[in-house]
Chains A and B, each alone.
Chain A
Amino acid sequence: MVIDKGHGSAGGGAGASPVSGPRGPGAPIEFRLDAGSGVPTYLQLVHQVEHALRLGYLKPGDQLPKVRDVVASLAINPNTVLKAYRDLEMKGLAAGRPGQGTFVQATLSQVALPELTTLRRSLSGWLAAADQAGLDEDGMVALFTSALRDFYERRGGSRARGGAASGETEGIA
């Protein structure tokens, strides 16, 4: 459940073009809100930027939507947008330029595309085996999440960049 919550529905929307395509004017991504998700608004914005970084919709040097534009299109409190951008700055993913706006500073896709494809293929194999054994989707997610947690705990708490996940599961043992 945790892995994809807040990410699955996120992203640059259907109209946004991937890295290769030509870019229109304005910011490369546009935020959307899911009022029923229960995820705080600023976290939804953070997740959508992270998601766009993972998928290559956003690259270092790209400008994030201007605070004013986000406020005008979503009718949300400006401090919420500022809080999201501050969060991204603290994670080292974005940086503010005085008088200009906030720009992408780093990328989240640490792994090259061919490698990702290989990893994805081996995961698909695992999924097929899990399906064969009778696990449903929720069961697979639960098992994966639990194995992931064990993996990082064994490595001595050096958790991957998991701000998103830890924010949502906070306190739920």
Chain B
Amino acid sequence: MSINVIETNGLGKRYGGTWALRECSLAIPAGHVAALVGPNGAGKTTLLNLAVGLASPSAGGVTVLGGRAPGSPAALDGIAFVAQDAPLYKNLSVADMIHLTRNLSRRFDQEYAETRLGELGIPLKRKSGRLSGGQQAQLALTLALARRPRLLMLDEPVAMLDPVARHDFMAIVLTAAVDDGVSVVLSSHVLTELERVADYLILLSRGRVQMAGEVDDLLASHRVLTGPALEADRYAERPVVHVRRAEAQAHLLVRATAADPVPPGFQAHPVGLEELALAYLREPGAAALPGPARGRHAEPSEVAK
């Protein structure tokens, strides 16, 4: 399977005079749990809405599931989208929500939905609005997965959940990835958990793509060099992403692999995903992408298990 579940080319969206997203070119290959990361207002929701077909581009183009138009019947069948804050009809019972979703979907696995809700102890007769926050999120997720999508898109799915509910929610998402090979794209500004959950990262900042690629590749192509502050500027010719400097000591986040030589007097350390993402988010001007956002990651060999 070498398709891209989302592919954009110069994609832009303008609301009034403001660009919510611009010149966005990326390709997210199938078979990943991809995290869309960025500060509030970076364009995460806009990108997801464009991919689902809830909004139309002001510039450029976007396709889903290997070249299909967002909003086309094939795209709608293959994609499940859970918008922010688990949108449900609060006055409908859980059973009615199932009924409604089944009638609105070409494919719906009723048995799956009821079994899952039973396991979660969510009563079918209760009104959606009276479920706890965690249960509402689980209900929205169950309805989405019962449509048996090939791509599951989640907008800030765990932002409102407590740690246990968050863990349980992500466990279901990731289990679906194992069981059914569902590709997942989720937006988040909770960086800490991403390292365990995501194996593909897209960093958005001020409406632009700052970094995109497989997490392993991104981590392998960055190092932190720690050494004397006086020497730090000597390595300015290296692609330095971010510098943290004290009187005597400096930490340089550079684009370098483990094979690259370490400057004398410096120590090289591997970098974690959170540290890497933070460094880029603190340097919105670090425009260079570690790898080409398009093309390279569409290689099938990377996707195959």
Where the two chains meet, the residues of A that have a C-beta atom closer than 8 Å to any C-beta of B are 33, 35, 38, 41, 67-68, 71-80, 82-83, 170-173
| Beta-carbon contact of B267 and A68 below 8 Å | no
Residues of B within 8 A of A73 (CB): 171
Pairwise interchain contact B195-A75, C-beta atoms closer than 8 A: no
A37 CB, nearest partner CB in chain B, Å: 11
Could you list 6 examples of A-B contacts with CB < 8 Å?
A68-B175, A71-B171, A72-B175, A78-B177, A171-B223, A171-B268
Q: How far is the CA of A171 from the CA of B225 in the complex (A)?
A: 10
Nearest-neighbor residue (CB-CB) of A86 within chain B: B305
Chain B nearest CB: distance from A1 CB in Å? Answer: 14
Interface size class on chain B is 20 to 34
* C-alpha gap A38/B272 in the complex (Å): 8
In Å, the complex CA distance between A38 and B178 comes to 26
Q: How many contacts A-B (CB < 8 Å)?
A: 62
B236 at the interface (CB under 8 A from A): no
User: Is the C-beta of B125 less than 8 angstroms from some C-beta in chain A?
Assistant: no
Q: Which residues does chain B contribute within 8 Å of A33, judged by CB atoms?
A: 196
Cα separation A123 to B19 with both chains bound (whole Å): 67
* Contact A75 to B170, CB < 8 A, known contacts A67-B178, A170-B258: yes
Complex Cα spacing A97 to B171, Å: 25
* Interchain CB contact under 8 A, A41 and B195: yes
Instruction: Give the interface centre of A33, A67, A71, A83 by most chain B CB atoms within 10 Å.
Output: A71
Chain A contact residues: over half helix, strand or loop, or mixed? helix
Question: Taking the complex as formed, is B197 at the interface, i.e. its CB lies under 8 A from any CB of chain A?
Answer: yes
Give complex CA distance A71, B171 in Å: 7
Scan residues 180-200 of chain B and give those whose CB is less than 8 A from a CB of chain A: 192, 195-199
A76 touches which of B168, B196, B223, B268 (Cβ 8 Å):
B196
A75, B197: Cβ atoms closer than 8 Å: yes
**Chain B residues closer than 8 Å to A67, beta-carbon distance:** 178
Q: Is the CB of B196 within 8 A of A75?
A: yes
Q: How far is the CA of A35 from the CA of B192 in the complex (A)?
A: 9
11 further contact pairs, Cβ within 8 A, besides A76-B174, A77-B198: A35-B192, A35-B196, A38-B272, A41-B195, A71-B174, A74-B171, A78-B174, A79-B305, A171-B267, A171-B270, A172-B269
Q: Given the complex, which residues of A lie within 8 Å of B247, measured CB to CB?
A: none
Q: Find B175's partner among A41, A71, A173 (CB 8 Å cutoff).
A: A71
* Cα of A91 to Cα of B20 in the assembled complex, Å: 49
Contacts of B268 in A (CB 8 A): 170-172
Bound together, the chains give a CA A56 to CA B83 distance in angstroms of: 48
